[in-house]
Amino acid sequence: MSHNREFVQAMRWSTDHLVLLDQRCLPHDVRYIACHNAHSAADAIRSMVVRGAPAIGITAAYAVALSARAHYASSPDSWRAGVAADLATLRASRPTAVNLMWALDVMGAACATLTDAPFAPLLALAQRLHAEDLAANRTMGDLGAAMIAPGSGVLTHCNAGALATAGHGTALGVIRSGWRDGRITAVFAGETRPWLQGARLTAWELMQDGIDVTLIADSAAAWLMAQGRVQWVIAGADRIAANGDTANKIGTYGLATLARAHGVRFMIAAPLSTIDLATASGAAITIEHRDGSELTELAGIAVAAPGVQALNPVFDVTPAHLIDALVTERGVIERPCAQTIAALFES
């Protein structure tokens, strides 16, 4: 297995447009979608062609460059108004992953400083954010792996891998690095109902890299821990509040609670762009709810009692006190809290 080669790329810039790997079709079909404007990128984020907090942010950054190109071509004197409207559309495409808002703020601030020909500098900035995310993931991978005793088993949830980022992944970055170093010798992936990011994406992605992965039903996690087969749960994050409370895929909170009950350690791996100092605690994080059909249907086939009501929150919040380690590109914090998180931004 090569540590440096990226087998899986969620997004890439191709000459004059953005190309996204359509994650709705995985693992059966590897299909790509071309985005030539900000609206098609916003649609792709909304419909989960591209998903995962950092990947959403990077996609949005490229979308702002596409927006500026179009609006500058049609009205060179007032292009910023068109970009502002597209920024609002992109901002509304998904509510929980703060990397989206972070990337739009960075790109929006750059727009404010540009006068002529904004496309080239904005594209360069989007490409820089893309490259920095990959570098952050490699750093986090090594820092997180160093916490894990040789020969450990780990459980991950959702997909926090190359598919969800610029590459390598956050939680899967730790797993890739830990597998390479022999610290991790067994990887379990929860299927992650209802969208099945674990079964469809994480299992596929790790198998592309030759990493042994064993799929479990989400409901098998407590049994697995009771058997002593995992020493760490490793997850990514969509938004980390200033006090360390962490929003991630629905089910993460349950796993953190189970981990504490079984003496299993719980790790969150996320770049600084996922930390939202403006949100004091998890109580203030907006939780996305998606259509109930994600629960009542499986691949378009009805699986629930016809007409049943469905409640489909797609994220939950793990309180900071259940997190043993927060791994960022700037270092690892054990038992994160407001003070240690604030200090990350001062270093």
Q: Which of residues 147-166 bind ligand MRU (CB under 6 A)?
A: 158, 160, 164-165
Residue 201 half-sphere exposure toward CB, CA atoms < 13 A:
32
Per CB under 6 A, 268 contacts ligand MRU? no
Select the residue interacting with ligand MRU from 87, 97, 241, 267 (CB under 6 A).
Answer: 97
Per CB under 6 A, 314 contacts ligand MRU? yes
Among 244, 273, 257, 246, which Cα is nearest to 340's?
244
- Cα distances (Å, whole numbers) of residue 98 to 64, 256, 273, 275: 16, 21, 8, 8
Extract the runs of DSSP E, i.e. beta strands, from the chain.
11-14, 17-21, 32-35, 152-156, 184-190, 214-216, 232-235, 239-241, 246-249, 265-269, 275-276, 297-298, 301-302, 315-318, 325-328, 331-334
Q: Which two tokens stand for residue 264?
A: 């299993």
Min CB(89)–ligand MRU separation in Å: 18
- Name the closest residue to ligand MRU (Cβ): 236
Select the residue interacting with ligand MRU from 154, 249, 296, 333 (CB under 6 A).
Answer: 249
- Interatomic CA distance for residues 8 and 5, integer angstroms: 9
Per CB under 6 A, 170 contacts ligand MRU? yes
Residue 168 half-sphere exposure toward CB, CA atoms < 13 A:
28
Min CB(70)–ligand MRU separation in Å: 27
Residue nearer to ligand MRU on the CB measure, 52 or 178: 52
238 is catalytic: yes
Select the residue interacting with ligand MRU from 51, 138, 176, 200 (CB under 6 A).
Answer: 51
Catalytic residue among 86, 209, 238, 276: 238
Residue nearer to ligand MRU on the CB measure, 197 or 328: 197
Using CB under 6 A, list all residues that contact ligand MRU.
51-54, 97, 158, 160, 164-165, 170, 197, 236-238, 248-249, 314
Residues identified as active-site: 238
